[in-house]
Structure 1
Amino acid sequence: EIKPELEDNDQELAIHIKRPDIQRKARIAQLKKNLAKTWIDGPGSITGFLVAVIGVCVIGALLASYVGRSLWRTIEKFIMNTPFLRNVFPYVKQVTDFLLTNEEQKKLFSRVVAVEYPRKGIWSVGLVTGSGLEKVVNTVKREFLTVIIPTSPTPFTGFVITVQKKQTIDLDMTIEEALRFIVSGGVITPGSEHVVKALPKAGEDEGR
């Protein structure tokens, strides 16, 4: 057996252990210790990740309860009385309400399209968020879509464009599939075959 006082000292192990089977056990013991240090205390630590996941679950369960809703209303009142936050919070709340509570808008937001952006010949995946700017629609007399084009690998930022509906291609993808495609940098490509099939049709329409 390996003496405990020798386990942490590779040089001492090399001097005291000559048998191959003992040396093999020593290497396995050292490997286990290194893995434990890496994944628990080292740069590969999963402790923080687990704490974050548990924290999100607990906060979600709390906010879903009556006590949580009451607490959230209290927090909202506090934010609205805070000088800087009260200027930003209403807009953030408007966006979250748009995505989470408005059924009509959520239905609209569930559409995923391909659009030529930032120039012709380059197709980007976008999420439809509206039916265009009213002034533009009334002036041009055509159907428009407001599309947000998320950036990769962080889809929380992106570009908002107003584009003619006929210049977009509806993709048979869910929002989740589109976001996975964007976050993975195109590695995860659910529904990519729909883009390939649709592009030649778009090219034919343009040539007519």
Structure 2
Amino acid sequence: MTRLRNYFLTGLVITGPLGITAYLTWSLILWVDGWVKPWIPIHYNPDTYLPFAVPGFGLIVSFFTLTMIGFLTANIAGRTLISYGEQILGRMPVVRNLYRGLKQIFETALSQRGNSFKKAALIEYPRHGLWAIVFLATGTKGEVAHLLGDDRELVSVFLPTTPNPTSGFLLFVPRADILELDMGVEDAAKLVISAGLVAPEYQKKTRALADDARAKQADKVPAPAIEHERESADSPAE
């Protein structure tokens, strides 16, 4: 019975992540198809000519459409059209604030030059002696930095909640109170999502153990060149 239980748990560990990943991927494909396929003309939709639905065709069409929009807006005519559209949106009282905020979020999150969420760190939260994982966003700027700086460098950090890291708190913390971690953002996110059950391997400790093993191996097996030099030094000169 113990072996059967171990075999069952092993199979669950193997198939569980695969099944959930496949389910989420398939759900995403069907969700995109449900949004895009109704806008595709009937003559260009393969579902019209085939006896079964083609999954993923809407995802391909959306990817191609977004790529073409990016290509067309990269030239002068496209940028001019976008600027006119933004001017029109800028005159709408409620829509302009929503559009500007969303645009700034997308540009910051998708920009390759941004430094957002490149490091994970620890801060004392919610009180002294308790520590929480945060993601470093950027240096605090603007009015907040002016009012709270007080000759201290402040960092804007995101404190995720467990087990849902998409929600959390924006905190402005002095850099001196931040302990940066060697683990990556993905490993820190796994630690938050699993509520501490999945801890990443400590790379520095592993590297130190590997270096010690190499040093011991080198001490056991001396280099041939060193042995040859020793023999030459011990032999009498002719």
Structure 1-normalised TM-score? 0.54
CA contact 1:137–1:143 (8 Å) conserved in 2:
no
Deviations 1:57-116 (A, max 9, x none): 537633552256659x8999599498754431220110121121161xx22531211111
What is the 5 A alignment of 1:112-123? 112-123=120-131
Secondary structure of the residue aligned to 2:106 is helix
Rounded Cα–Cα distance in structure 1 between residues aligned with 2:65 and 2:128: 46
Amino acid in the other structure paired with 1:127: F
**Residue from 51, 57, 60 that aligns with 1:58:** 60
Q: How many aligned residue pairs are there?
A: 146
Q: 2:180 aligned with 1:178, yes or no?
A: no
Rounded Cα–Cα distance in structure 2 between residues aligned with 1:129 and 1:69: 30
Q: What is the CA distance between 1:171 and its match in structure 2?
A: 0.5
Amino acid in the other structure paired with 2:157: V
Rounded Cα–Cα distance in structure 2 between residues aligned with 1:48 and 1:131: 35
Amino acid in the other structure paired with 1:135: H
Amino acid in the other structure paired with 1:110: K
* Runs of 5+ unmatched residues, structure 1: 1-43, 195-208
Rounded Cα–Cα distance in structure 2 between residues aligned with 1:130 and 1:118: 21
CA contact 2:138–2:156 (8 Å) conserved in 1:
yes
Q: What is the CA distance between 1:130 and its match in structure 2?
A: 2.1
CA contact 1:171–1:191 (8 Å) conserved in 2:
no
Aligned to 2:107: 97
Deviations 1:124-183 (A, max 9, x none): 110111223321454x21222111101122222111111111111100122222222222
Q: 2:145 aligned with 1:134, yes or no?
A: yes
**Overall identity of the aligned pairs, in %:** 23
Aligned to 1:158: 168
Rounded Cα–Cα distance in structure 2 between residues aligned with 1:184 and 1:68: 38
Aligned to 2:119: 111
Q: CA RMSD of the aligned region, Å? A: 3.8
Rounded Cα–Cα distance in structure 2 between residues aligned with 1:187 and 1:111: 21
* Runs of 5+ unmatched residues, structure 2: 1-19, 34-58, 205-238
What is the 5 A alignment of 1:42-81? 50-53=26-29, 55=32, 58=60, 61-62=63-64, 65-67=67-69, 77=85, 80=89
CA contact 2:145–2:154 (8 Å) conserved in 1:
no
